[in-house]
Amino acid sequence: MSVRTRFAPSPTGYLHIGGARTAFFNWLLARRHQGEFILRIDDTDEARHVEDAVGKILEGFAWLGLGWDEGPEFAEHGGGSRGPYYQSQRSSLYEAAIVDLIRRGHAYPDVTPPEETELARKAAEAAKQPFVYRGKDRDIAPADALVLYESQRPSVRFKVPTGQTTVLEDKVRGRVEWQTDLLGDFTIARTGGKPLYNLASVLDDIGMEITHIVRAEEHLSNTHPQLHLFEGLGAKPPVFAHIPYVAAPATKKKLSKRNPPPGVMVAIEEYQKAGYLPAAILNALGRLGWSLDDKTELMDVELMKANFSLERVIASPAGLDPDKMFWMQDHYMRQLTRDQRVDLMLPFLVDAKLIADPVPEEARRIVEHIDQACGDRLKLLADIVRYGSFCFAPTLEHDKEAAKNLRKEGVASALVQIRNAVAHAEPFDLATLESAIQKVGAETGMGGKINNVVRAAVTGRTVGPGVFDCLVLLGKEKSLRHIDQSIQAFSVDAPTS
């Protein structure tokens, strides 16, 4: 049988770094062995659902380029013969399994009042003993248990065998052992027959013929009861690999998706909006707990697909390194052609409502010029908004640093000279403008600092393309209009001609 892996997120929030890393490892393992990657939505816990969470998760996978062979239909992805791929649509399968487990003596309905169970728990705590629940109805005849279940529909517990050692040969953590005498009869269905996570997950893994389960180490505690469920259902367990959690930067503490350290992005959507490339994110995810060797940092998807193995996944926490991610982003930006960068940057200007969609040809030409002028200063795709908004914004707005530059002593009078130099620059090209502005710098005693004044006056920013490129990009008319607005904004009368 071919390798079949799965990722089964709950729709309780966004796709975060830890979840995306787990999904990527499953995807890589399947692709390495020419297998299938299945995406399943574990949505049995309706109380924790977040509106549109499924859509965000699917969009995140599509953006990363992690296509799934079976699962929810989205764009060109999804479908499959082993669905439905939402747990909420598989209720009849779970109900049939509950009845089958009761009929074969592996489960029993539990009618013990909750308060009685709680008293037993407190008694165990008082005696400083582990609380191991064994229901008083666990040994009733299967036929009687089935009648009880169908008449009252109480909660159902799995009958854990006693006096045994359960062994797991985990591909990452090695040999793990549990004693069944320390595992209570666990609930597999709530009152009314609603299945709980362990039962639903195991049944889905069996039905979808999952061969390898690669998941976060926090699920290791679920593995003991799940192994008994596989046995009770007469199925061979898949291969398990419990990978380490993702640690917060420079710590061994688990990275929190709800309360991350200040300035640390944890949602895949955040990286997308910031302008990261999927290639950079996947490279970073691949290095979170796995390595090709002891020195390679930069790895494209094809290299990782060809070499991924569970044997090189470490068991200790893998720390998120935002600086390294940014370095990887810079690398992959440099690998793109100008046309590719422009194609990817234009949507950020559209989203910022600075240009129309479809994109006018003139806007594309301007962005090409900005990209050429900025060189490798454009690190993120979204930088085009910060570096190029002055070309498209309907009005000039000065940021705090630009305003600070324009309030300095001597700048007000220099602006008038700058305007005069720009107005008389012919032809209006880089060489002519550079010569004219340098002359103003010499006359005012500002020297090269005059460029900072020009940039602040015409763009309202302190960063961007080369200052003379800014003037050429705007053209003479718009450059003069911006200079006039800056003069007026900083309390000097604009010239009338």
- Catalogue the long-range contacts made by 89-92 (C-beta closer than 8 Å, 24 or more residues apart): 90/200, 90/203, 90/204, 90/207, 91/195
Which residues touch 116 (CB under 8 Å, ≥6 apart)? none
Question: Across the beta sheet with 107-110, what order do the strands follow?
Answer: 107-110, 155-158, 187-189
Q: How far apart are CA 451 and CA 199, in angstroms?
A: 68
Q: Which residues pair with 290 in a beta bridge?
A: 313
Q: How far apart are CA 110 and CA 132, in angstroms?
A: 15
Q: How far apart are CA 20 and CA 274, in angstroms?
A: 17
Q: How far apart are CA 213 and CA 237, in angstroms?
A: 10
Q: How far apart are CA 299 and CA 284, in angstroms?
A: 9
> How is residue 336 written in tokens?
């793109």
Q: How far apart are CA 487 and CA 415, in angstroms?
A: 7
Is residue 36 classed as helix, strand or coil in its secondary structure?
Answer: strand
Which residues touch 330 (CB under 8 Å, ≥6 apart)? 376, 379
The answer to whether 153 and 146 are in contact (CB under 8 A) is no
Q: Determine whether 257 is an active site residue.
A: yes
Q: Among 254, 257, 305, 408, which one carries the catalytic annotation?
A: 257
Q: Which of 379, 347, 376 is nearest to 363 (CA)?
A: 347
Listing DSSP states for 290-359 in one string gives B-SSSS-----HHHHHHH--GGGB-SS-EE--HHHHHHHHHHHHHHS-HHHHHHHHHHHHHHTTSS-SSP
Sign, CA torsion 41/43/49/51: positive
Classify the phi-psi angles of 383: left when phi > 0, otherwise alpha if psi is within -120 to 50, otherwise beta: alpha
The answer to whether 124 and 130 are in contact (CB under 8 A) is yes
Q: Which residues are catalytic?
A: 257
